[in-house]
Amino acid sequence: MTDIRDQHSSNIVRFWKAIPLFRRDPLVAADAVTDRALISVIAIMTFLAAMTAGAAEFSASTTSRWQVMMASEVTVQLKPQGSRPIDADLVRATDILRGTPGVTSVQTYSREDSAKLLEPWLGSVSAMEGLPIPRLIAVRIDTEQPPDLLALGKAVAAAAPGASLDDHRNWTKRLGRISTALMVASALALVLVLAATGLAIVFATRGAMAGNREIIEVLHFIGADDRYIAAQFQRHFTVLGIRGGLIGGLIALFLLISLRIIGSPSGATVDANGLSMMVVPGSEIMAATFGVILLVGLVAGIASRITVHRTIGRLA
């Protein structure tokens, strides 16, 4: 029974040792203080990078949702034309809209509804009594088979002088430009954060190699080649990079998911509709965060490899 238990625990130890993150570094002497400092720096960098990636993902997905929403709706505005009866124009415009293929629903705003929309600028509805109020028709369209909006606009304007059709194209374009600018800024920030991580690894690797100069000399004398020694240092710093990346990335992930939970419609303390728009869907956060952690590990590996290969010749 004891033998079986020993066998089992030794299998578990072997399993964990097979994973570089849990295996003791064989040759590069771990410097607890330096390693902890480096892990902390990488964790902070990864946190910032993951939040940046989350923000970029948020801006892209939110803009995309908004663009879809705006592309599926157009607005017809009827401005009062002197003594011309606006209600009759409204009925004619509504009939044309309802009879157009590709239009899925038409919602006419009454005079009171339109006046309510103007309340923030003109005061209470009762104060607007006697003022010419423009009327609105909200039209939802089939985005798969949309109607010819140019022809529809002309038809509505012909039937109801003073009517204009707004397909929100200008807003959509501006949103697209803002989204692109945000994505570029986020990508730049991500690159800078990764570059800073790489530089931290470069300096740490140089320091470690200088500190392990005697070990490197002994390794050369007992028959280790540069590739072997470089691989030891590269593995050491890649593991440190992934450890730091996991800490920073998981904290960022926790924070982003917490925001999502707080912002979800079931959240009781915040305006659910408002905040839920400001958070990224969970699977996209996960993908972005783990992508950043992998990138940090990759940057750590590449930075240490380049540094080791450049330094080892001088030390040899």
Partner 1 sequence: MQAFSYHPVGELVRFENVGLRYGVGAETLSDVSFSIEPQSFQFLTGASGTGKTTLLRLIMQALKPTRGMIALFGQDTSQLKKDGLTALRRRMGIVFQDFRLLDHLTTFENVALPLKVQGREEATYRAEVTELLNWVGLGDLMHATPAVLSGGEKQRASIARALVAQPEILLADEPTGNVDPSLARRLLRLFVEMNRSGTAILIATHDLSLMDQIDGARRLVLADRRLHVESGHD
Q: Could you give the angle at which helices 32-71 and 282-315 cross, rounded to 10 degrees?
A: 140
In the complex, least distance from residue 230 CB atom to partner 1, rounded to whole angstroms: 12
In the complex, least distance from residue 31 CB atom to partner 1, rounded to whole angstroms: 10
Identify any residues that bridge with 136 across adjacent strands, giving them in sequence order: 77
In the complex, least distance from residue 314 CB atom to partner 1, rounded to whole angstroms: 14
In the complex, least distance from residue 28 CB atom to partner 1, rounded to whole angstroms: 9
Spatial contact of 272 and 263, defined as CB atoms under 8 Å apart? yes
Of residues 173 and 213, the one with the C-beta less far from partner 1:
213
Q: How many whole angstroms separate alpha carbon 276 and alpha carbon 262?
A: 8
Of residues 33 and 268, the one with the C-beta less far from partner 1:
33
Of residues 29 and 210, the one with the C-beta less far from partner 1:
29
Q: How many whole angstroms separate alpha carbon 142 and alpha carbon 123?
A: 36
How wide is the angle at C-alpha 77 spanned by C-alphas 76 and 78, nearest 5°? 120
Spatial contact of 68 and 120, defined as CB atoms under 8 Å apart? no
In the complex, least distance from residue 38 CB atom to partner 1, rounded to whole angstroms: 18
Residues engaged in binding partner 1 (CB under 8 A): 26-27, 29-30, 214-215, 217-226, 228
In the complex, least distance from residue 300 CB atom to partner 1, rounded to whole angstroms: 21
In the complex, least distance from residue 24 CB atom to partner 1, rounded to whole angstroms: 9
Q: How many whole angstroms separate alpha carbon 292 and alpha carbon 312?
A: 29
In the complex, least distance from residue 297 CB atom to partner 1, rounded to whole angstroms: 24
Of residues 3 and 214, the one with the C-beta less far from partner 1:
214
In the complex, least distance from residue 236 CB atom to partner 1, rounded to whole angstroms: 12
Of residues 103 and 229, the one with the C-beta less far from partner 1:
229
Of residues 154 and 213, the one with the C-beta less far from partner 1:
213
Of residues 231 and 298, the one with the C-beta less far from partner 1:
231
Contacts of 222 (CB under 8 A, 6+ apart): none
Of residues 260 and 305, the one with the C-beta less far from partner 1:
305
Of residues 116 and 220, the one with the C-beta less far from partner 1:
220
Residue whose C-alpha is closest to residue 75's, from 162, 166, 146: 166
CB pairs under 8 A, 24+ apart, for 245-248? 245/42, 245/43, 245/46, 245/292, 245/293, 245/294, 245/296, 245/297, 245/300, 246/293, 247/39, 247/43, 247/46, 248/42, 248/43, 248/44, 248/45, 248/46, 248/47, 248/48, 248/49, 248/50, 248/296
